[in-house]
């Protein structure tokens, strides 16, 4: 499945993937805790006004239809916690691998509550993919959620996981350590967020984060910042394209 509530995004997904991925079920809908209805007036990214769409949950898509879930990526603009809770039965039954986007320092209580739920209720381990995955705040991270019961079987022989793990591109966190391991300067009032709100666009901005790196003697890696990371990756792809033209 792929879900998106905005008409323009939905239509683009259909155009790009609908014809050559016949097994992909493309649904124009939102996702969250309970079944219901949403309105595009509440979506910042939507260009369509006063347009309604259905809201579903993971259990409706899988558990109630007796379908299995193996992998899920959840990036739903702040309702990730509700989405996880709306898939409790499915997650307990299928033990899927899950990735979730989170802005770590925006709402510390939400971050703590969600990680406590994942580790204590769902019985999953939480790993941070250590690269900024959003703009303009550099504390956006993707979390990799691995079911504790099957972690060894799923990942013990994964070269990609092991390489990421030993190079600290991936590391395990809980509801306390995540605030110290993901740019602690980005907490409200910290070196990188000396503003009235974590929602201020300057809070945890790339320039503040880079200065923090230098002051603390941190190595500037390709994944350090969002802009630099994107430029670095595009540069590597250009080089690959040039090499492909050489006989």
- The answer for residues whose C-beta is within 8 angstroms of residue 132's C-beta and 6 or more apart is 138, 139, 140, 141, 223, 225, 226, 229
Share of the chain above pLDDT 70, in %: 89
Which stretch of 96-100, 105-109, 131-135, 151-155 has the lowest confidence by average pLDDT? 151-155
Cα–Cα dist 221/231, whole Å: 12
Q: Is the peptide bond before 137 cis (omega within 30 degrees of 0)?
A: no
Strand partners, 54: 37
205: Cβ–Cβ under 8 A, 6 or more apart, which residues?
136, 137, 138, 192
CB-side neighbour CA atoms (13 Å) of 191: 14
| Cβ neighbours, 10 Å, residue 118 | 22
Rounded CA-CA distance 232/84 in Å is: 33
Give which of 165, 175, 59 is closest to 118, Cα–Cα: 175
Residue ranges of E strands in the chain = 2-3, 26-27, 30-31, 36-39, 52-56, 71-74, 97-103, 124-129, 140-147, 170-173
Query: What is the percent of the chain with per-residue pLDDT over 90, rounded to a whole number?
Result: 61
Kindly indicate the confidence band of residue 101, based on its pLDDT and cuts at 50, 70 and 90: very high
pTM across the whole model? 0.86
Q: What are the tens digits of pLDDT across the range 207-234?
A: 898 888 888 876 544 455 667 667 777 7
Could you give the CA distance from residue 9 to residue 28 in angstroms, rounded to a whole number? 9
pLDDT for residue 11 is more than 80: yes
């Amino acid at each position: 499945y792929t879900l998106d509530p905005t008409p323009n995004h939905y239509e683009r997904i259909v155009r790009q993937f609908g014809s050559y991925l016949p097994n992909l079920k493309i649904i124009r809908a939102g996702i969250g805790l309970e079944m219901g209805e949403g309105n595009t007036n509440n979506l910042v990214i939507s260009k369509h006004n006063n347009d309604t769409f259905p809201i579903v949950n993971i259990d409706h898509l899988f558990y109630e239809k007796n379908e299995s879930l193996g992998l899920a990526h959840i990036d739903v603009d702040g309702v990730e916690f509700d989405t996880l809770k709306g898939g409790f039965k499915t997650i307990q039954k299928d033990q899927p691998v899950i990735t979730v986007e989170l802005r770590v320092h925006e709402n510390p209580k939400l971050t703590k509550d969600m990680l406590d739920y994942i580790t204590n209720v769902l019985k999953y381990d939480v790993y941070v993919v250590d690269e900024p995955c959003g703009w303009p705040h550099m504390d956006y991270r993707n979390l990799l959620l691995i079911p504790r019961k099957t972690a060894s079987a799923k990942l013990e022989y994964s070269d990609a996981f092991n390489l990421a793990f030993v190079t600290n591109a991936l590391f395990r966190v809980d509801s306390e350590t995540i605030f110290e391991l993901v740019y602690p300067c980005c907490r409200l009032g910290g070196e990188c967020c000396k503003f009235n709100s974590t929602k201020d666009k300057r809070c945890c901005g790339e320039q503040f984060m880079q200065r923090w790196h230098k002051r603390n003697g941190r190595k500037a890696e390709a994944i350090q910042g969002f802009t630099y990371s994107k430029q670095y990756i595009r540069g590597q792809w250009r080089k690959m394209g040039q090499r492909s033209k050489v006989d």
